């Protein structure tokens, strides 16, 4: 679905005369392959290059070196831009700055309008997208009257109305309260399960990675760890080195294990933890 | 204070005027303005008054609300009427100190006053009964021929609708910055005019910075959603004429004809 082949991206800062002042490698020789239908989480602290990574999938940025392929299209091909963006929709961090229209349903229709979907078909898509994100009741409201979590769901509906194969979410929960965060993440998970849409979630909240099919950890433009969440979360020390915090239960279990208790190597949820403790008591 | 002005605000109601195609309402307002300046007799004003009153009733607008919208122009109205009254030469009816009142003066003051009132009434009825989105849609369609001479009509209407979407957000942000600066000792309320203008700098600078950042973000988000100008774009709610719109156009033609032929 999404393929990165030795991709490097450089931000070049120039002084007033146009001489190169400094080169900042935001992506440094990244190669990876994301399978269709997967729920992939990319983790990384601030400045790890994860946003730059996201913008490459949507062809908002072009690699300095290497090749990015999205559902068969090379992102460097100018005339394929619309197809790429139709296939790989993107949700951004700030909910206010990505809603274009003053009425919810009109905003959801913005993408389909741009790619020239006929009106009748467009209504069907809008209705479906609103229903899937649970925003049907708000269709005629103004976005200013919604909470942050609801606005993000509208943004997701807007992407969904394009019938994408893949949705990239660039820190969609960073500006939300815990309730909004849950709303957004559970909506995305449902879309992945029910509609089979590939989800690439970029975040620094480790908790959101627990249910992922696959995880990548980024640091300073490199992919430094990859694997199933369980494999990654087991390496608490290494994650801390990349300024990431594991969920509290995982950390607690890790410390108890270190102190000599016989617990499994990686505990992801509170239920798992209580189960492990109970088993310990029985023995 | 900004929230008190009702001119340009949408008044939601379910009426035939609300349902009219926005293009009809836009051209209707233009027709009214043109006809106002065409005739020069009380019969013409009677016609216009009847027309405006009928539209207000059909639009189910409360009279109080409509009149409240006239308040901001009250000063301008009085100013204009007094000048017309005192400065028009003609048959003298009476004079006091340096002021003279003429027959023509009374006439022109009345006419100018009525013209201004109907002009504002007409255009505010349009905005009361049409959402800003529909209005920009209508303008895009009406001015579409200008695309031939490379006027970026679609871009302008996109700009207007985005501006309308962000007005409440920026107002809220202004409020937030103001409070933040006040918390740090900024004073927006005291001092003379120059001091107050100077006090606005710590408000405007962060506001502008944030507005530009928002603009950048929004442009990126629009691009990510396949926006590439007006070419090949379809609409969720395309404008379509109905039978009632044809009738409305006939009424408008009647108004213009009346304005031309009334003595």
Alpha-carbon distance A118 to A103, whole Å?
20
Predicted model pTM? 0.83
CB < 8 Å to A139, chain B:
none
Alpha-carbon distance A32 to A223, whole Å?
9
CB < 8 Å to A110, chain B:
222, 225, 227
How does DSSP assign B159-219, residue by residue?
HHHHHHHHHHHHHHHHHHHHHHHHHTT--SSSS-HHHHHHHTHHHHHHHHHHHHHHHHHHH
Task: Give me A36's structure tokens.
Answer: 């269709």
Neighbours of A89 (CB within 10 A): 26
How many beta-carbon pairs under 8 angstroms link A with B? 90
Residues B25 and B116 in one domain: yes
Among B83, B96, B239, B216, CA closest to B157: B239
Is B2 a domain residue? Answer: yes
Arithmetic mean of pLDDT over chain A: 90
User: What pLDDT score does B196 carry?
Assistant: 85
Asked if A106 lies within 8 A of B220 by C-beta distance, the reply is no
Interface test with B, best of A54, A83, A114, A128 (most B CBs within 10 A): A114
Query: What is the span of the domain harbouring residue B258?
Result: 1-130+240-263
User: What pLDDT score does A165 carry?
Assistant: 93
Residues B24 and B78 in one domain: yes
Residues B158 and B116 in one domain: no
Identify which of A116, A143, A159 has the shortest CB distance to residue B232.
A116
Map out the domains of chain A as residue ranges. 2-233, 247-283
Residues B5 and B80 in one domain: yes
Question: Is A2-233 assigned to CATH 2.60.120.10?
Answer: no
Interface test with A, best of B165, B176, B225 (most A CBs within 10 A): B225
CB < 8 Å to B234, chain A:
112-113, 116-119, 122
First to last CA, chain A: 47
Residues B179 and B125 in one domain: no
Asked if A97 lies within 8 A of B232 by C-beta distance, the reply is no
Alpha-carbon distance A20 to A62, whole Å?
19
> Residues A103-120: pLDDT tens digits?
899 999 999 999 999 999
DSSP letter assigned to residue B7: T
Asked if A111 lies within 8 A of B225 by C-beta distance, the reply is yes
Using alpha carbons, list the distances in angstroms from residue B139 to A8, A104, B28.
46, 22, 13
Residues B92 and B211 in one domain: no
User: What pLDDT score does B29 carry?
Assistant: 92
How many angstroms separate the CA of residue A190 from the nearest CA in chain B?
22
Is B144 a domain residue? Answer: no
Asked if B236 lies within 8 A of A106 by C-beta distance, the reply is yes
CB < 8 Å to B225, chain A:
85, 89, 100, 110-111, 114, 158-159, 162
A207 vs A93, residue with greater confidence: A93
Residues B124 and B155 in one domain: no
Is B122 a domain residue? Answer: yes
What lies within 8 Å, CB to CB, of B242 at 6+ separation is B19, B21
Is B138 a domain residue? Answer: no
Pairing of β A198-203 and β A39-44? parallel
Residue B259: CA count within 13 A, CB half-sphere: 20
The predicted complex's ipTM stands at 0.88
Asked if A144 lies within 8 A of B238 by C-beta distance, the reply is no
CB < 8 Å to A158, chain B:
225
CB < 8 Å to A60, chain B:
220, 223-224
Is B249 a domain residue? Answer: yes
How many angstroms separate the CA of residue A108 from the nearest CA in chain B?
10
CB < 8 Å to A123, chain B:
236
Residues B248 and B226 in one domain: no
What lies within 8 Å, CB to CB, of A15 at 6+ separation is A21
Is B136 a domain residue? Answer: no
DSSP letter assigned to residue B85: H
Asked if A122 lies within 8 A of B236 by C-beta distance, the reply is yes
Asked if B218 lies within 8 A of A100 by C-beta distance, the reply is yes
User: What pLDDT score does B8 carry?
Assistant: 60
User: What pLDDT score does A70 carry?
Assistant: 92
User: What pLDDT score does B194 carry?
Assistant: 87
Among A122, A103, A186, CA closest to A160: A122
Interface test with B, best of A86, A96, A166 (most B CBs within 10 A): A96
Residues B201 and B126 in one domain: no
Q: What percent of chain A has pLDDT over 90?
A: 61
Instruction: Name the domain count of chain B.
Output: 2
Is B135 a domain residue? Answer: no
Asked if B169 lies within 8 A of A94 by C-beta distance, the reply is no
Residues B162 and B112 in one domain: no
User: What pLDDT score does A283 carry?
Assistant: 66
Asked if B165 lies within 8 A of A143 by C-beta distance, the reply is yes
Residues B36 and B126 in one domain: yes
A245 vs B179, residue with greater confidence: B179
How many angstroms separate the CA of residue B133 from the nearest CA in chain A?
8
Residues B27 and B109 in one domain: yes
Is B142 a domain residue? Answer: no
Nearest CA in chain A to B133: A102
User: What pLDDT score does B2 carry?
Assistant: 45
For chain B, which ranges sit under pLDDT 50? 1-4
Q: Give the position of tokens 């929230």.
A: B3
Task: Give me A209's structure tokens.
Answer: 């990675």
Asked if B224 lies within 8 A of A60 by C-beta distance, the reply is yes
Q: In what order do the strands lie in the sheet with A88-91?
A: A88-91, A166-170, A198-203, A39-44, A214-219, A222-227
């Amino acid at each position: 679905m999404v393929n990165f082949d030795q991709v490097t991206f450089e931000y070049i800062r120039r002084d007033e005369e146009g001489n190169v002042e400094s080169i900042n490698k935001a992506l440094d020789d990244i190669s990876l392959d994301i399978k269709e239908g997967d729920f992939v989480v990319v983790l990384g602290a601030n400045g790890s290059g994860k946003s730059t990574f996201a913008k490459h999938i949507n062809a908002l940025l072009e690699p300095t070196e290497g090749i990015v392929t999205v559902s068969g299209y090379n992102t460097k091909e100018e005339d394929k831009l619309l197809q790429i963006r139709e296939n790989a929709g993107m949700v951004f961090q700030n909910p206010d700055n990505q809603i274009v229209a003053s009425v919810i349903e009109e905003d959801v229709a913005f993408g389909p309008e741009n790619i020239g979907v006929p009106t009748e078909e467009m209504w069907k898509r809008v209705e479906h997208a609103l229903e899937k994100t649970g925003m049907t009741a708000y269709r005629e409201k103004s976005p200013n009257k919604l909470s942050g979590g609801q606005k993000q769901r509208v943004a997701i509906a807007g992407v969904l109305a394009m019938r994408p194969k893949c949705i990239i979410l660039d820190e969609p929960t960073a500006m939300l309260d815990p309730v909004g965060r849950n709303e957004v993440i559970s909506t995305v998970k449902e879309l992945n399960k029910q509609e089979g849409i590939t989800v690439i979630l970029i975040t620094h909240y480790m908790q959101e990675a627990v249910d992922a099919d696959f995880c990548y950890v980024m640091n300073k433009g490199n992919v430094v760890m990859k694997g199933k969440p369980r494999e990654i979360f087991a390496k608490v020390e290494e994650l801390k080195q990349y300024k990431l915090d594991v969920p509290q239960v995982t950390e607690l279990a890790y410390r108890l294990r270190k102190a000599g208790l016989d617990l499994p190597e990686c505990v992801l949820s509170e239920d798992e933890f209580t189960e492990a403790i109970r088993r310990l008591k029985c023995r | 204070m900004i929230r008190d002005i009702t001119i340009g605000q949408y008044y939601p109601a379910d009426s035939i005027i609300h349902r009219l195609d926005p293009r009809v309402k836009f051209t209707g307002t233009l027709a009214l303005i043109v006809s106002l300046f065409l005739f020069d007799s009380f019969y013409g004003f009677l016609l216009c008054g009847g027309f405006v009153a009928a539209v207000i009733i059909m639009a189910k607008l409360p009279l109080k609300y409509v009149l409240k919208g006239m308040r901001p122009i009250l000063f301008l109205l009085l100013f204009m009427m007094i000048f017309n009254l005192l400065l028009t030469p003609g048959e003298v009816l009476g004079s006091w100190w340096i002021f003279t009142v003429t027959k023509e003066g009374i006439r022109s003051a009345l006419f100018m006053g009525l013209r201004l009132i109907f002009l504002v009434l007409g255009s505010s009825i349009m905005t009361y009964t049409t959402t800003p989105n529909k209005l920009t849609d209508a303008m895009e369609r009406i001015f579409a021929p200008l695309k031939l001479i490379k006027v970026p009509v679609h871009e302008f209407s996109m700009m207007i609708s985005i501006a309308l979407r962000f007005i409440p957000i920026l107002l809220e942000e202004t409020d937030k910055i103001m409070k933040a600066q006040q918390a740090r000792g900024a004073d927006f309320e005291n001092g003379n005019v120059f001091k107050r203008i100077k006090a606005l700098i710590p408000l405007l600078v962060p506001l502008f910075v944030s507005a530009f950042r928002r603009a950048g973000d929004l442009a990126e988000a629009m691009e990510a959603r396949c926006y590439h100008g007006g070419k090949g774009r379809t609409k969720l709610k395309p404008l379509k004429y109905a039978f009632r719109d044809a009738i409305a156009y006939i009424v408008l033609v009647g108004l213009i004809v009346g304005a031309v032929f009334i003595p």
